Structure 1
Amino acid sequence: MTVADGTGTGSLRSQRTALAVLGLIAAIAIGFGLGFLANQFLHDDQPATPVAGSVDVGFAQDMTVHHNQAVEMAAIAIANAADPMVRDLAYDILTTQQNQIGQMTGWLSLWNQPLLPTGDYMAWMTADGTGMSGHTGMSHGTASATPSSGQQQSGAATMPGMASSEDMAALRQARGPAADVLFLQLMLRHHEGGKPMMEYGAQHAEVPTVRALAQTMVDTQQSESTRMTQLLTEKGAAPLPMN
């Protein structure tokens, strides 16, 4: 007769975490390869290589930072959430956004640009470099997300939708249904906060592949936001206000 000691639950959680890590590694490789190939197929009539301060470079750098935190939140939810639908959603977000990080860092490497922003966030979203939605000179604050692929990441607390250090600590500590709700709330706000950047990139980037990826992000995240809103309603919870 076997005595239940909780090791089965721990084993399943470890398996989910291991699968998430394997998916993340595969997505990095695929995404970087896609970013490389996209540039190999640029023709002579395509725009010149994007330069620092351009929409293309700024979008790739800032969205990499924004995506990095989403990947971290999704990995936590895969390990700690109770609802299988929430864990599945988190896995989809993790693999999709890590793939996109791979594409963006692939482009930045080929453009000889830093993989992460070195100046104010979102300054590329207006012609005069003052940023978007009244966020003039959005400086880097305290880091609130784990860097991806060993990169040193500047803080991103001032970008719309980003979770604070306190938010991330609460998510790491949450378990079961509480983890379900907090993940959905934080990720929904995260998606909505990044939407203006994605829409601006889709409209104003010079490189067609950058515009296409930005539009894909808009479409995918809008669908995910609708699903997260539905799940929150089913759980008797409400979305968080935008920060």
Structure 2
Amino acid sequence: MISEVQPSAPDASADASEAGGAPQRRFGYLAVATLLVGLILGIGTGLVVPGLRHPGDDSVEAGFLRDMSTHHAQAVEMAMIAHAGSTNPDVVTLAADIATTQQGQIGYMQSWLRDWDLSPTGTAEPMAWIPGSDGSIVNGLMPGMATPEQMAALRKATGKDLDVQFLTLMRAHHVGGVHMAQEGVELSGNENVDWIAESMVTAQQGEIQLIDSLLKKAQAS
């Protein structure tokens, strides 16, 4: 006689495993999904937030960098004129230092504007980034800048006259530049702008003292 095969009883342990495994798997999927969402949001924030932190087109920082680039450009031109035409070694050395330093600073300032996706020039009036600065602009020129007539005379000058004109114009130029840089330090909230503005104040104040000494010697010769 063939014995009847009794159906085996359900495996209680397997059911328990499956019953407990489903919630665990669901928790695992949820954890992975949460991590992925966090990663995506983190990447998005990393890409977006720095852009939001960049100074805007009408910011103090953008205005300062644009105006100081223009201010520096004239100083570099004056320095190159003196470097090429002066026969005074001290004046030639000073002119080289000014041209090299300020051209390098122009490079920094223009690079930051590009990094911020801003134009190197703006539509705002010069010095508009400084509250109440309307009286600082004379004939469209920022503080200390030489007039077109003064620049033309400097290009024609030779000998002692060249040295005296250059030192006189550069002293006024530095005084105006220091004023602008001090305003930049006070008004800006950007660490790069603060750093370069403070560097300008320190360097140009020191050069003003040297210019005074050289000017006195040139005038007495």
| TM bin (shorter chain) | 0.7 to 0.9
Q: In the alignment, residue 76 of structure 2 is paired with which amino acid? A: V
CA drift of 1:46 comes to: 11
Q: In the alignment, residue 169 of structure 2 is paired with which amino acid? A: L
Residues of 2 paired with 1:91 and 1:208: CA distance? 28
Structure with bigger helix share is 2
Q: For 2:53, what is the secondary structure of its paired residue?
A: coil
Unmatched tracts of structure 2, length 5 or more:
1-48
Other-structure match for 1:227? 210
CA drift of 1:234 comes to: 1.7
- Tell me the alpha carbon deviations over residues 200-232 of structure 1, each in whole angstroms, 9 at most, x when there is no partner: 111221111110100000000000011001111
Q: Is the 8 A contact 2:66 2:121 kept in 1?
A: yes
- The reply to whether residue 204 of structure 1 matches residue 187 of structure 2 is yes
Other-structure match for 1:103? 108
Q: Is the 8 A contact 2:82 2:95 kept in 1?
A: yes
Q: TM-score, length-normalised on structure 2?
A: 0.73
Other-structure match for 1:218? 201
CA drift of 1:117 comes to: 3.4
Question: Aligned in 2, Cα 1:222/1:46: closer, same or farther, shift over 3 Å?
Answer: farther
1:132-151 paired onto structure 2 within 5 Å? 134-135=135-136, 138=137
Residues of 1 paired with 2:58 and 2:52: CA distance? 15
1:1-243 paired onto structure 2 within 5 Å? 48-126=53-131, 130-131=132-133, 134-135=135-136, 138=137, 157-236=140-219
CA drift of 1:160 comes to: 1.1
Q: In the alignment, residue 48 of structure 1 is paired with which amino acid? A: R
Q: TM-score, length-normalised on structure 1?
A: 0.66
Residues of 2 paired with 1:117 and 1:75: CA distance? 27
Name whichever of 47-56 and 65-74 sits farther off: 47-56
- Tell me the alpha carbon deviations over residues 71-128 of structure 1, each in whole angstroms, 9 at most, x when there is no partner: 00001001111211001000000000000000000001111112123221111012xx
Unmatched tracts of structure 1, length 5 or more:
1-43, 142-156, 238-243
CA drift of 1:47 comes to: 8.4
Residues of 2 paired with 1:177 and 1:104: CA distance? 34
- CA RMSD across the alignment: 2.0
